[in-house]
A and B are shown apart, each in its own frame.
Chain A
Amino acid sequence: MNSYPVTLKQSYSSALQAYLADAQEAALMRAYELGRQATENGLGVLDIAAVHQEALTQVLRPSSPSQETLQTVQAASKFLAECIAPFEMTHRGFREANAALKQQATQLANLNKELDAFAYSVSHDLRAPLRAIDGFSQALLEDYLDKLDAQGVDYLNRVRNASQAMGRLIDGLLKLSRLTRAEMRRQPVDLSATAQAIAEALRKSQPERRVAFSIAGGVTANGDPVLLQVVLENLLSNAWKFTSRHATATIEFGATWQDGKQVCFVRDDGAGFEMAYAGKLFGAFQRLHGRNDFEGTGIGLATVRRIIDQHGGRVWAEGAVDRGAAFYFTLEP
């Protein structure tokens, strides 16, 4: 135990005497300061009540109070202590829960770091053999083409396609782990302008497609501009991708208010999905569509969720097969 309670007793007693002698604001501030120091040193309200009782007894001593007065003071203090005991218990509970939470948070942060380090090294070490698989398959196709029949060529092309697909998966994983390692910086972000720029880029990538973008103006949010750009890129290019089977399509970006919170959304009238699988959408490597229908690694929405989680927000989806999909997100808890 440290010697703080002894110091507190002395300081409290002199401060109380000073206050009772001359009810000055300064003396009250001293009381506040003592209370602050007491909590910092891990003392509870019951300790303060005990110190208070002792100090009060000391204050009364010079005027030689009657035994009766002293007993009254003691009894009153005991009564007060009993009454504030629940506060003390709640406070202690909070403190313990807080300490446990802190420990858990540290553990979680360490685990996350380990996982990211793992993802990083796995990603790099996995790329080298993939390069060899793809490269030597290509060498066979180029140097030994005359010795291969059509099926042999087909098989080698499959090997190459598969290794390149795995390369893209690894890149997606790397990107995901990189995103979470970077520190988040919140600032006002013009989501409308970001969405507009992404829409332009998508339009340029396939100018022959007939897609109408409807982007609400003036939608802003407080968040990390780089991460929010990634969110909108993923959601809008998903919408772009999943409307590709329709002759014309509409992709919408906007925001509504729900329970005092801004809810942003990206909506399309494309392939949609079965609501029964809505919960699966946001897991890494989850795909609801066949590889032949729509390309993709299954990392985009996992990335979106991770970023929204980092912002303390929520993301969810609504959709129906062939009637489009809508993705909603908030950025505040």
Chain B
Amino acid sequence: MNEKAILLVEDNPDDEALTLRALKRNKILNEIVVARDGAEALDYLFGTSVISGQDAPLNPEIVLLDLKLPKLDGHEVLKRIRADPRTKLLPVVILTSSTEDEDVVKAYGLGANSYVRKPVDFDQFSEAVRHLGLYWLVLNVPPRSKGR
């Protein structure tokens, strides 16, 4: 497959379905891998994975990361992503309910590339996802990772 996957880290099944719907609606056709908690996300990224079914690290095109997650929260996942040389340049977009200054500042401090709040209105949400897809999957030039 040419296009790399999108890793969606989301524990709420409703939000998962809505995000998938918004992606589909905006004709974003990349494979979408869903991790339902922080540990699953790291498993997928660092190759000890149940979801990926392989043991080599697998870099997605982008990570859409919720903050409030079971086991490891989003901030912790982000910290581990940035700490590992294999994933430290991976684009990570925080996609969350919170607009608390504290959460925003912390996420950027840990190296988030973008911070997007999930609106209640689905039309706005879909619009946000459309912009995300356009920017991160089309306009943005990602760093070339080694050995891919």
**Could you tell me which A residues sit within 8 Å of B by CB distance?**
120, 124, 127-132, 134-139, 160, 163-164, 166-167, 174, 178
Contact = CB atoms under 8 A, between A and B. Distances in A.
Interface bracket on B? 10 to 19
A240 B123 CA distance: 28
Given A124-B98, A131-B119, A135-B14, 12 more contacts: A124-B68, A128-B14, A128-B97, A129-B14, A132-B14, A132-B15, A134-B120, A136-B18, A137-B122, A160-B122, A164-B121, A174-B99
B136 interface: no
A285 to B, nearest CB: 18
Interface of B: 12, 14-15, 17-18, 21, 68, 97-100, 118-123, 125
Q: Is the interface of B mostly helix, strand, loop or mixed?
A: loop
B125 to A, nearest CB: 7
Contact of B18 (A135, A163, A174): A135
B100 A120 contact: yes
Nearest to A128: B12
Nearest to A170: B120
B121 A134 contact: yes
A142 to B, nearest CB: 8
Nearest to B99: A174
Contacts of B97: 124, 127-128
B12 to A, nearest CB: 6
A138 B123 contact: yes
A164 B119 CA distance: 9
A128 B21 contact: no
Contacts of B21: 135, 139
A131 B100 contact: no
Question: Most chain-B CB neighbours within 10 Å: which of A131, A134, A135, A166?
Answer: A135
Contacts of B121: 134, 160, 164, 167
Contacts of A139: 21, 122
Contacts of B99: 174
A194 B21 CA distance: 43
A136 B120 CA distance: 11
Given A128-B12, A128-B14, A135 B122 contact: yes
A132 B97 CA distance: 13
Contacts of A127: 97, 118, 120
Nearest to A141: B122
A128 B12 CA distance: 8
B18 A131 contact: yes
Question: Most chain-B CB neighbours within 10 Å: which of A132, A160, A167?
Answer: A132
Question: Most chain-B CB neighbours within 10 Å: which of A131, A137, A174?
Answer: A131
Contacts of B18: 131-132, 135-136
A129 B120 CA distance: 9
B10 to A, nearest CB: 11
Given A124-B97, A127-B97, A131-B18, A138 B68 contact: no
Nearest to A132: B14
